[in-house]
Amino acid sequence: MSGVERIEQVFRKLNQAGSAAFMPYHAMGYPTRQQSLDVITTLAEAGADLVEIGIPHSDPLADGPTIQTATYAALVGGTTVVDCLQMVRELRAKGVDTPFCAMSYYNPILAYGEESFVAAAASAGVDGLIVPDLPPGESELLEPACREAGLATIYMLAPTSTEERIRSVARHATGFIYLVSVTGITGARDELPPGLPAFVERVRRHTELPLAVGFGISTGPQAAKVAEIVEGVIVGSALVKAAGSDAGVEAVRSLAEQLAVGSHNGKVV
């Protein structure tokens, strides 16, 4: 089964159950290499339906201070692209079978070699790829390589996206489309933006792909509200902050379980 098919299977199963997917993000190598493996294993155990594997980058433009701090610490600790893929292999060898989407900025992929990176990612056990700073119109090499390897190509849309951009993403995306809930960077927020439902409906007019919302979600009740209007709930900063706390993995487990319940609308899936 290809990565695209594995992601599609998750959304199909959850749709039949009347639930949205809980989709946590974690930065590989943070707080340490082993702890990041423990965090991702814990997220899978706590109800994650798909995990975003963050590949650290020195200039994460879309990320807020929490994830910037985490990725910087991972880089200082020696985390590389090669090491991130090796960690994916180790997680798969341990039996973690939750679909993984690697989230990386373009420069590390370019330095690795686009086709080589996609082949290595697929071999390691990655199912999809999110590149925040690579629009579909500039992915002439990466997208065909993903298609050949069976990896999903996930693109982002923001509330400021034009109709033309929405149509372009709808044509090129596979797996799901990532909707950025606010104009700005990642980070936990107290309230969801009031314009989110209208933004979701704008995108739905152009695609039948599952839609997942990220940026700003940090609590179970917020996840539940998002799950009412889209197929996926993405949470990053709040969980990364928990991973870096004194309670570490246990703090991640507690928060992830609440977010999973919210995303699943109180249902066990």
Residues with a catalytic annotation lie at 52, 63
- Report the C-alpha gap between 248 and 230 in whole angstroms: 30
Number of neighbouring beta carbons within 10 Å of residue 15? 13
Beta pairing class for 152-154 and 156-157: unpaired
The identity of residue 99, as a single letter, is P
C-alpha dihedral (25, 119, 174, 153), degrees to nearest 10: 60
C-alpha distances out from residue 86 to 27, 29, 50, 243, 258, Å: 14, 11, 19, 21, 30
d(CA 192, CA 195): 9
Q: Which one, of 138, 183, 137, lies nearest residue 160 by Cα?
A: 183
